[in-house]
Amino acid sequence: MLGLLGAGDLDEDSWTDVEDTLLLADLGAATTTEIVDRLRAELAARAVRTPEQARAALRDVLIEALRPELDRAVRALPHNGADGVSVPGVVLIAGVNGTGKTTTTGKLARVLVADGRTVVATGGCFDLLHTGHVKLLRQARQLGDALIVLINSDDSVRALKGPDRPIMPAADRARILAALACVDAVGVFDDHTPERLLDAVRPDVWVKGGDYTACDLPEADVVQRHGGEVVIVPTVSGYSSSQLIATARSEHTIRRNAK
pLDDT category of residue 66 using cuts at 50, 70 and 90:
low
- Residue 88 contacts residue 219 (beta carbons within 8 Å): no
CA distance linking residue 134 with residue 128, whole number of Å: 11
Region 213-225: what's the mean pLDDT?
A: 89
3.60.15.10, 3.40.50.300, 3.40.50.620, 3.40.50.920: CATH of 77-246: 3.40.50.620
Region 184-213: what's the mean pLDDT?
A: 86
Of residues 216 and 95, the one with the higher pLDDT is 216
pLDDT digits (tens, 9 = 90+) for 80-111: 444 454 443 334 433 333 333 345 667 667 76
Flag the least confident range among 85-99, 123-137, 173-187, 235-249. 85-99
The pTM of this model reads 0.60
What single string gives the DSSP state of each residue in 109-151?
HHHHHHTTPPEEEEEE--SS--HHHHHHHHHHHTTSSEEEEEE
CATH architecture of 2-66: Up-down Bundle (1.20)
CA distance linking residue 137 with residue 25, whole number of Å: 25
The whole-chain average pLDDT of the chain stands at: 74
Q: Which of 10-14, 58-62, 106-110, 188-192 has the highest mean pLDDT?
A: 188-192
| Domain residue ranges in the chain | 2-66, 77-246
Region 121-137: what's the mean pLDDT?
A: 89
pLDDT of residue 74: 36
What percent of the chain is predicted at pLDDT more than 70? 64
